[in-house]
């Protein structure tokens, strides 16, 4: 399958991966043949990319249905998690977290990072989706860091809860379409502290989770908030969640700005190593996540377009690209592959859209 810009999708092409609503419900199921009505509707809903079946790329993995099911259950649990934190109902809160824990367990035992992070969703409820994405990324990064299963579950829990303090922030500040005033930004910067206060009321939540929630906006050079902590004062969980939070945030559209390109989002993390972000954690990030997802169409510096079919571990911006057609005529060609690790004079210049 391939990832295709909605503007490049043709009628009668077949959807290869489910499209979700913000509540985790299936909006369009894989296997549907797309018509113009579906395509126009997806555009209106803000879906910019879809996965399309393509037998020339049939070696790119199909959807992990079990993982998708667990993600949907986790998203649906978010309302219960927030409700029970607000009411300080520890027993019901634990029940609400059950689906999240099942998702983390599955990732530890079965999930492939290259096929786990790139769902196609409508983003009406950005906060829920962002918290889930941060949880999933943090879990994969915890695996790379060789944490044991108990610590990974606590790390994932901190990821899903990292922005819980935002429920105390006025909605007009959270959803403001434009730059925050100094006073509004000062209020926004309190959400880690609000999160700590809320979570301390639930006796079942480990201290390591609460500390990570309170510190996820701290920076190793001391220029973060709310306390201006420096590297050795920041928990390892917080250092991981900090990176995953920033990367996911800039990779998605927000009401006040457009998302970064994949390469720009990745470079933001790498450029912050040693200042904003812990150096060892950035190195683990680099060895865990790739810039361009499998099936993504990219333009190369020699003018050729192709689709990412394999990753080169440790070199996130230099995958293997399969060329399927002539860029000028768009006629199919006998496909061939360009390994950017071997063709060092060629680079990816953009994601084709």
- Least Cα distance to 246 among 225, 272, 220 occurs for 272
Task: Check pLDDT > 60 for residue 257.
Answer: no
- Burial of residue 226 (CB within 10 Å: 0-12, 13-18, 19+) is middle
pLDDT band at 140 (very low <50, low <70, confident <90, very high): very high
CA atoms in the 13 A half-sphere facing the CB of 236: 13
Residue 121 is given by DSSP the state: E
Q: Distance between CA 104 and CA 149 in Å, rounded?
A: 9
Question: Which has the minimum average pLDDT: 61-75, 106-120, 150-164?
Answer: 106-120
Task: Check pLDDT > 80 for residue 170.
Answer: yes
* The most confident of 36-50, 184-198, 240-254, by mean pLDDT: 184-198
Q: Distance between CA 199 and CA 216 in Å, rounded?
A: 14
Domain ranges for the chain: 2-57, 65-286, 297-351
Q: Kindly report the length of the chain.
A: 353
Task: Check pLDDT > 60 for residue 82.
Answer: yes
Task: Check pLDDT > 90 for residue 191.
Answer: yes
Mean pLDDT to the nearest integer, 177-194: 93
pLDDT band at 124 (very low <50, low <70, confident <90, very high): very low
pLDDT band at 70 (very low <50, low <70, confident <90, very high): confident
What's the pLDDT score for residue 22? Answer: 62
Residue 208 in contact with residue 174, Cβ under 8 Å?
A: no
Q: Which CATH class is domain 65-286?
A: mainly alpha
Mean pLDDT to the nearest integer, 16-41: 84
User: What percent of the chain is predicted at pLDDT more than 90?
Assistant: 49
Computed over every residue of the chain, the mean pLDDT equals: 87
Mean pLDDT to the nearest integer, 20-32: 78
Residue 288 in contact with residue 144, Cβ under 8 Å?
A: yes
pLDDT band at 122 (very low <50, low <70, confident <90, very high): very low
CATH-assigned architecture of domain 2-57: Alpha-Beta Complex (3.90)
Q: 3-state secondary structure string, 292-340? A: CCCCEEEEECCCCEEEEEECCCCCCCCCEEEEEECCCCCCEEEEEEEEC
Question: Which has the minimum average pLDDT: 113-127, 200-214, 223-237, 262-276?
Answer: 113-127
Q: Tens of pLDDT along 303-322? A: 899 999 999 987 888 999 99
Question: Same topology for domains 2-57 and 65-286, yes or no?
Answer: no
**Cα-trace Rg, the chain:** 21
- Least Cα distance to 309 among 327, 292, 325, 326 occurs for 292
Higher pLDDT, 37 or 91: 37
Residue 324 in contact with residue 332, Cβ under 8 Å?
A: yes
What's the pLDDT score for residue 259? Answer: 72
What's the pLDDT score for residue 125? Answer: 52
Task: Check pLDDT > 70 for residue 94.
Answer: yes
């Amino acid at each position: 399958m391939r990832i295709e810009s909605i503007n490049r999708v043709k009628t009668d092409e077949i959807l290869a991966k489910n499209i979700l609503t913000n509540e985790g419900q299936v909006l369009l199921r894989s296997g549907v043949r797309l018509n113009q009505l579906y395509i126009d509707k997806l555009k209106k809903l803000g879906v910019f990319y879809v996965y399309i079946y393509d037998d020339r790329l049939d070696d790119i993995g199909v959807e992990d249905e079990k993982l998708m099911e667990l993600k949907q259950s986790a998203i649906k649990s978010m309302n219960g998690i927030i409700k029970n934190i607000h009411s300080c109902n520890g027993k019901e809160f634990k029940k609400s977290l059950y689906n999240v824990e099942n998702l983390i367990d599955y990732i530890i035992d079965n999930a492939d990072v290259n096929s786990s992070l790139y769902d196609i969703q409508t983003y009406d409820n950005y906060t829920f989706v962002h918290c889930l994405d941060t949880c999933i990324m943090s879990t994969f990064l915890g695996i790379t860091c060789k944490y044991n299963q108990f610590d990974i579950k606590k790390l994932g829990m901190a990821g899903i809860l990292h922005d819980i303090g935002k429920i105390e922030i006025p909605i007009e500040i959270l959803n403001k379409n434009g730059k925050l005033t100094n006073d509004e930004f000062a209020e926004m910067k309190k959400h880690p502290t609000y999160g700590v206060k809320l979570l301390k009321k639930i006796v079942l939540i480990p201290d390591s989770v609460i500390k990570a929630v309170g510190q996820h906006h701290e920076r190793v050079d001391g220029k973060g908030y709310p306390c201006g902590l420096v590297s050795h004062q920041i928990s390892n969980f917080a250092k991981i969640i900090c990176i995953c939070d920033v990367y996911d945030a800039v990779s998605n559209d927000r009401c006040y700005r457009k998302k970064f390109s994949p390469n720009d989002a990745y470079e933001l993390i790498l450029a912050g190593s040693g200042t904003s972000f812990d150096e060892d954690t950035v190195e683990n990030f680099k060895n865990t996540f790739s810039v361009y997802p499998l099936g993504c169409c990219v333009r190369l510096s020699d003018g050729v377009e192709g689709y990412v079919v394999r990753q080169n571990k440790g070199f996130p911006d230099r995958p293997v690209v399969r060329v399927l057609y002539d860029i000028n005529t768009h006629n199919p060609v006998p496909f061939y592959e360009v390994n950017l690790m071997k063709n060092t004079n060629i680079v990816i210049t953009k994601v084709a859209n």
